[in-house]
Amino acid sequence: MNEQETVNRLATLATPQLTSLLRLKNTRHIYDPTPGALNTRVVVDGNELTLDKVKRASQPYRNIERFLFDEEKMMQFVVAPGVMPIVLALSKDIMGKKLLVTRRLAARNDDKGVVGNLHGFGVRIMMYFDKGVGETIVEWSCLYGVL
């Protein structure tokens, strides 16, 4: 499995985990697939909303290959630690709110490696090898705003 296939597989595994943990019962979720950056504005039902929050979680792996061929290990050691900080941040921010808007993150100048996106949610996974420390870094990012 090459790096792009790995990131795509992580995104596929993370999508149901994120949606089941987030529990958006009282909050409506809108996903905007057009790439955006921090402080972009969107109009939803006549209300202007600023996407003013980005949650990032980064995980270093000395030998990530040991997790990639066993789906259970991939979920436990790669997906869950990446998804949980995002779920916790979103859960805290949507408390008492009616609307959550997530948007696909636009590429940044300092992006490295390969990128994948969760289907139907504004979460991006970036994976790259950091030669300085000899580790593969998996970075999870979510761009969102609440109303």
Torsion of CA 84, 60, 128, 112, to 10 degrees: 80
Does residue 33 fall inside a structural domain?
yes
Distance CA 86, CA 14 (A): 11
Distance CA 127, CA 114 (A): 5
Distance CA 87, CA 18 (A): 7
Does residue 23 fall inside a structural domain?
no
Does residue 22 fall inside a structural domain?
no
Reported as half-sphere exposure (CB side, CA atoms, 13 A), residue 133 has a value of 11
Give helix 3-22 / helix 80-94 axis angle, nearest 10°: 40
Distance CA 79, CA 68 (A): 11
Does residue 108 fall inside a structural domain?
yes
Residue with tokens 């996106």: 117
Number of domains in the chain: 1
Tens-digit pLDDT profile for residues 24-69: 989 999 999 999 999 999 999 999 999 999 999 999 999 999 999 9
Question: Where in the sequence is the domain holding 129, given as residue range(s)?
Answer: 3-16+28-146
Tens-digit pLDDT profile for residues 107-116: 999 899 999 9
Percent of the chain with pLDDT over 70: 100
The DSSP letter of residue 97 is -
- Mean pLDDT value of segment 75-84: 97
pTM of the shown model: 0.94
